[in-house]
Amino acid sequence: MKQMMNHELLEVKNLKKYYPVTTGLLSQHIGDIKAVDGVSLSIREGEILGLVGESGCGKSTLGKTILRLEEPTSGEILYKGIDITRLDKKELRELRREIQIIFQDPDASLDPRMTVGDSICEPLVIHNTGDEKERTERVAELMEQVGLEAGQTSHYPHEFSGGQKQRIGIARALAVNPRLIIADEPVSALDVSVQAQILNLMMDIQEEFGLAYLFIAHDLSVIKHMAHRMAVMYLGKIVELANKKEIFDNPLHPYTEALLSAVPSLKPKGKDRILLRGDVPSPLNPPPGCHFHPRCHRVLPICRQKEPQLVEISPEHFIACHLHNTDNL
Ligand code: ADP
């Protein structure tokens, strides 16, 4: 896997995305759904950062906010050192050349009335890239890169299988030569038998073009296969962030421990299975103190009162947990 770890491509600082909740005729503001609540992380050139957490933890919202498909409530998103939260429409369009997204449901990004060739060509048209001949050549090249036949350009999406449609989604994302791809559960809607093919394609492409991915998945084996580093998200916050091997060998946050122990093939040796009780609470009314405390098998009295901060407890290993931050005890 190609990895160039020297500089940050993307830095997210204290990013928040709140959805206001209103009631009544006067739309009185009664609270906020804190979908992303103070996330800081970075992605380096050519790096795959895996983002895991149960459904409803804020992973998709974080991905969409980084792309400004959702407007951030506050915080900074630095892409190559430039704060993209301040870009105007024109500048944002330019940025979308560099950062692309691949969605879970390939149908959502494909217009059923457009041929596949036109769909893949669309980003080139939007970004005014090349003349007609160059675009036709580029579409054929992209089809080949993602394992489709160039002769299929005149076909419509319904003529393709789920895996092939995701290949088309990948070709569309690659069309304008991005540097960073936000992959939001790109294989979870696909049959298990084709998931590995798409993951391998994404890894080949990452290596060939030295791309960076923010790879969102709730399936830890997918992250284990793909990522260099991984971030674990719980109720709008990053609770653990480290090198993938370090987390899989030595998960420190009780939430990470529980997630790993739920997958028999990933359960660290010698550790018991930890049952994660209940569901993720609502981000409208998160539990006080550490948001995870009502479900935590290692809860301490302080966890009910004080929110733990994300701290670096060993080089490049960050964790937000009172168990591992003795300053707070
Ligand atoms: P994940 O990707 O981890 O499953 P999401 O980012 O989809 O989580 O959602 C995080 C939380 O934000 C959920 O509680 C969800 O209901 C809420 N949410 C997401 N989008 C919106 C929206 N447009 N309006 C209100 N709440 C939203």
55 Cα–ligand 1 center, Å: 9
Q: For residue 4, which of 32, 41, 45, 43 has the smallest C-alpha distance?
A: 45
Reported as a single tens digit per residue, the pLDDT across 206-232 is 999 999 999 999 899 999 999 999 999
Confirm if 204 and 25 have CB atoms less than 8 A apart: no
22 lines ligand 1 (CB under 6 A): no
Task: Give nearest CA residue, ligand 1 atom 23.
Answer: 19
Strands 74-79 and 8-23: antiparallel
* CA dihedral sign, ordered 207, 209, 211, 216: negative
pLDDT at 142: 95
Is any ligand 1 atom within 6 A of the Cβ of residue 59?
yes
Q: Whose CA is nearest to atom 14 of ligand 1?
A: 56
Q: Name the residue of 19, 70, 216 to mutate for ligand 1: max ligand atoms within 8 A of Cβ.
A: 19
Distance of CA 56 from the midpoint of ligand 1 (Å): 6
The radius of gyration of the chain's CA atoms, rounded to the nearest angstrom, is 21
Q: Is the CB of 286 under 6 A from ligand 1?
A: no
Which pLDDT does position 329 carry in this prediction?
Answer: 52
Q: Going by CA atoms, what residue is nearest to atom 17 of ligand 1?
A: 35
Angle, helices 162-174/116-126, rounded to nearest 10 degrees: 20
Place of tokens 């979908």: 35
pLDDT tens digits, residue range 24-36? 888 899 999 999 9
Q: Which residue from 18, 33, 235 has its CB within 8 A of the most atoms of ligand 1, so it is best to mutate? A: 33
pLDDT in tens, 158-197: 999 999 999 999 999 999 999 999 999 999 989 888 999 9
Name the nearest CA neighbour of 321 among 188, 329, 112: 329
User: Using CA atoms, how far apart are residues 264 and 35, in angstroms rounded to an integer?
Assistant: 30
Q: Does ligand 1 come within 6 angstroms of the Cβ of 283? A: yes
pLDDT tens string 101-157: 999 988 877 899 999 999 999 999 999 999 999 999 999 999 999 999 988 999 999
pLDDT per residue over 288-326, tens digit each?
999 999 999 999 999 999 999 999 999 999 999 999 876
